[in-house]
């Protein structure tokens, strides 16, 4: 897995680097919150998603990245190892707004994020985890919620990631 620069990491790097060399989004250039809502954003063509992600604030990038991680985790939970589930928890935690700030600390956080993801997932999996990854319908997440409600403690509903995993 080492040496592979998947779309996931490239997406995050493009967002971070473009923020470093561009002015902060102004009210007229910043994406509207509705454009960044998961169900709306992921259905847009990839060039449009890239443009929106680059123009998004660090808080928006964090929310979008975390939403994709949560949905992907729920859709793939039954096949993931404990180590991968732990890695997803760590990645979700690392994907804070600070990671997307155009600073040296943000760059270092992104590099740490990349190393952790690269150690746990294949290139294809990392592409799927990317904010540019495929839409994961709420129905797939809903199935995981139903299993969790029925007593399957291995199926934690999306939006419930915690420090303990």
Verdict on whether the full-model pTM lies above 0.95:
no
Instruction: Write a three-state SS string for the chain.
Output: CCCCCCHHHHHHHHHHHHHHHCCCCCCCCCCCHHHHCHHHHCCCCHHHHHHHHHHCCHHHHHHHHHHHHHHHHHHHHHHCCHHHHHHHHHHHHHCCHHHHCCCHHHHHHHHHHHHHHHHHCCHHHHHHHCCCCCCCCHHHHHHHHHHHHCCCCCCCCCCCCCCCC
The domain segmentation of the chain, as residue ranges, is 7-19+31-149
Instruction: List, for residues 77-129, the tens digit of each pLDDT value.
Output: 999 999 999 999 999 999 999 999 999 999 999 999 999 999 999 999 999 99
Q: Look up residue 76 and give its two tokens.
A: 């793939």
Residue 9 reports pLDDT greater than 70? no
What confidence score (pLDDT) does residue 119 get?
94
Chain-wide mean pLDDT for the chain?
Answer: 76
């Amino acid at each position: 897995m080492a040496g592979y620069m998947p779309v996931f990491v490239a997406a995050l790097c493009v967002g971070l680097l473009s923020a470093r060399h561009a002015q902060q989004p102004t009210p007229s250039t910043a994406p509207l919150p509705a454009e960044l809502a998961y169900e709306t954003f992921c259905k847009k063509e990839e060039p449009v998603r890239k443009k929106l992600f680059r123009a998004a604030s660090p808080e928006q990038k964090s929310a979008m990245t975390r939403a994709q991680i949560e949905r992907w985790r729920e859709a793939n939970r039954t096949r993931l190892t404990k180590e991968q589930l732990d890695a997803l928890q760590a990645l979700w935690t690392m994907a804070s707004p600070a990671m997307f700030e155009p600073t040296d600390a943000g760059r270092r956080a992104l590099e740490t994020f990349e190393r952790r993801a690269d150690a746990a997932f294949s290139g294809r999996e990392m592409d799927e985890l990317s904010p540019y990854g495929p839409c994961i319908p709420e129905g797939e997440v809903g199935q995981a919620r139903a299993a969790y409600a029925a007593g399957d403690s291995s199926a934690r509903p999306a939006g419930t990631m915690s420090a303990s995993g």
